[in-house]
Amino acid sequence: MIVTIDGPAGAGKSTVAAELAKRLGCRYLNSGVTYRAVGWAALEKGVAPNQERAVKELMRDLRVSLEYPSWEAKVSVNGQDVTDLLQTREVSEAASLISRFPFVRKKVVAVQRNTGRAGDLVAEGRDMGTVVFPDAEVKFFLEASPEVRARRRLQDWDRLGVETNYQEVLAELGTRDERDSTRQASPLRPAEDAVRVDTSNLTVDEVVSLLLDRIGEESDAADMV
């Protein structure tokens, strides 16, 4: 079984997907880490993530891989484990810029699809249900108000020790939403068969319970076919 969870930044995808994977006994794919790995590599090499020619040259010899010693992936770039190096604001911004290029997405999507071949996966991102796993058994699209998403993202940065403020984070989310929804390659949008869930006024447990109920309904329906 493959379950996809898409949505904008701050909608709660990562937290919900990780908890859902643990409860289902599945592996968890945070698709963002694959783009962050490319963003990290660009910063390490001094490559501007918005310069197409330089990024294309970087991608020529770049190898991103995912391994699963447990339910959560370890991320490697050219054989180096970079899992613990990807949660910075700079890497996040680099990933957002670099993911606009179709040639980057093509290479990263291949890595993500390879991960899904073994099944039993909860995959979250922005195009999991529309592009990467269009035949997934169950698809969700999480959303929330910009204000709620900004508060959540601010809490995330606080936990990581990143200094910022609410207005700055809210503005960054607006820019990110515009970039994600208007890019040429794999724009952010719900899959036609995705279940949309507004998480603005729901706890993580409440969202996970809703998703588990829907997965149970889909499983029961499949058993009847």
Residue 220 pLDDT exceeds 60: no
Per DSSP, the three-state class of 164 is coil
Rounded alpha-carbon distances, angstroms, from residue 158 to 133, 154, 169, 202, 213: 33, 6, 12, 21, 33
Question: pTM of the full predicted structure?
Answer: 0.90
Task: Give me the architecture of the 30-118 domain, per CATH.
Answer: 3-Layer(aba) Sandwich (3.40)
Pick the CATH number of 1-26+120-216 from 3.60.20.30, 3.20.20.70, 3.40.109.10, 3.40.50.300: 3.40.50.300
Strands 138-143 and 121-125 turn out to be unpaired
Average pLDDT over residues 199-220: 91
All CATH 3.40.50.300 domain ranges in the chain, comma separated: 1-26+120-216, 30-118
Q: Give the tens place of pLDDT for each residue, 139-184.
A: 999 999 999 999 998 888 888 788 889 999 899 899 988 888 888 7
Q: Give the tens place of pLDDT for each residue, 43-98.
A: 999 999 999 999 999 999 999 999 999 999 999 999 999 999 998 989 999 998 99
193 band by pLDDT with thresholds 50, 70 and 90:
very high
